[in-house]
Amino acid sequence: MAAIIECNNITHYYGNRLIYKDLNFSVERGKILGLLGKNGTGKTTIINILNGYLKPYSGECRLLGEDMRSLSIETKSKVGLLLEGHVQHSYFNIVQIEKFYSRFFKDWKSEPYWDLMDKLKVTRKQKISTMSCGQRSQVALGLILAQDPELLILDDFSMGLDPGYRRLFVDYLKEYVTATNKTVFLTSHIIQDMEHLIDETMILDYGKLLLHKPTHEILDNFKRYKLSDDVRFKLDSDDVIQNVEHFKTHTEFYSFDPMDKVKQALQSRSIDTQTLVYESLTLEDAFIGLTGKY
């Protein structure tokens, strides 16, 4: 399947601080990819690189087959961009901003925009600058949907949204993308609601890409294991066992491997596995399990 986004060997620094080294990933048509990471791991940096607003130290990205540094007008019209904080031209009201954008896109579809606007309790003359963050998010989303782009790039779409607006955003987006076979690349540091939205998950840690897998594979295979801690022991992370945390009464760790393999790994260290149990995780739990709490 054709890659809508393809990034090869992206390395970037801010000053002397390494953000990533040789980051590689691609997003296929029709997929919703969620880029997750803690604050400061470089999620917005990737968005900026993808849109040509930041020249990486090395490497290249291609959007719809074109180099990010020189996107043609046609390609730009196929990419819907949501900036962090749902930034829009705040001096417009909702009628004016629709009128403005509609002149740039030949396939402009007003219906999804007005459909969303009708859900907002704002007057048509209310300026965007006087709207709440949730209301602005709907304006920004409505404009992107009206643009009818092939690729939607959404930077931290959940930022500042209360649960209601977050759910509204996710539901609307999911319904739209499923119906139209669009590709979505989104970032977020709030992971609730995401497991029902994203097909693929990429998790960034400081300086590296920690993981890039289908979301269902993470939810199906990544487990939290608990071991009652009657006998004190020291357990370190390795390929099988990840993010070990010792509590007063038990030890917790995470693993992509099945129970049998985890037991083998523990037994090879002479640890009693009789009390070993596991539990399935939400995507948020999995994220914590992979990146740690700190």
Residues 71-90 interacting with another protein (rule: CB under 8 A): 73-74, 76-77, 79, 81, 83-85, 87-90
Window contacting another protein (CB under 8 A); options: 68-76, 170-178, 229-237, 253-261? 68-76
User: Is 54 or 271 the residue whose CB approaches another protein more closely?
Assistant: 54
User: Is 103 or 234 the residue whose CB approaches another protein more closely?
Assistant: 103
* Six-digit token string for 124: 């048509």
* Dist CA 104 CA 194 (whole Å): 32
Residue 147 beta carbon to another protein: minimum distance, rounded to whole angstroms: 9
Residue 115 beta carbon to another protein: minimum distance, rounded to whole angstroms: 22
Residue 258 beta carbon to another protein: minimum distance, rounded to whole angstroms: 44
Residues 14-43 interacting with another protein (rule: CB under 8 A): 14-15
User: Is 92 or 206 the residue whose CB approaches another protein more closely?
Assistant: 92
> What CA dihedral angle connects 115, 116, 118 and 124, to 10 degrees?
-110
User: Is 84 or 199 the residue whose CB approaches another protein more closely?
Assistant: 84
* Dist CA 65 CA 125 (whole Å): 40
Residues 216-255 interacting with another protein (rule: CB under 8 A): none
Contact 188, 213 (CB under 8 A): no
List, as own/partner pairs, every contact residues 15-23 make where C-beta atoms lie below 8 angstroms and the sequence separation is at least 24, other chains included: 18/207, 19/45, 19/207, 20/204, 20/207, 20/208, 20/209, 21/207, 21/208, 22/59, 23/59, 23/208, 23/209
User: Is 74 or 236 the residue whose CB approaches another protein more closely?
Assistant: 74
Tell me, rounded to whole angstroms, the distance of Cα 108 from its chain centroid: 26
Residue 96 beta carbon to another protein: minimum distance, rounded to whole angstroms: 6
Among 6, 10, 41, 48, binds another protein (CB under 8 A): 48
Among 39, 103, 125, 249, binds another protein (CB under 8 A): 103
Looking at the chain, how many residues does it have? 294
Residues 156-215 interacting with another protein (rule: CB under 8 A): none
Which residue type occupies 183? T
Sheet with 277-280, side-by-side order of all strands: 242-246, 250-255, 223-228, 277-280
Among 4, 42, 51, 157, binds another protein (CB under 8 A): 51
Q: Does 54 bind another protein (CB under 8 A)?
A: yes
* Those residues with Cβ within 8 angstroms of residue 84's Cβ, 6 or more apart along the chain or in another chain: 44, 47, 155, 156, 159
Residue 55 beta carbon to another protein: minimum distance, rounded to whole angstroms: 5
Among 17, 65, 100, 279, binds another protein (CB under 8 A): 100
- Between β-strands 200-205 and 32-37, what pairing exists: parallel, antiparallel or unpaired? parallel
Number of residues that bind another protein (CB under 8 A): 29
Give whole-number Cα distances, 190 to 157, 167, 263, 280, in Å.
9, 12, 33, 20
Contact 124, 95 (CB under 8 A): yes
Residues in contact with another protein by CB under 8 A are 14-15, 48, 51-55, 73-74, 76-77, 79, 81, 83-85, 87-92, 96, 99-100, 103-105
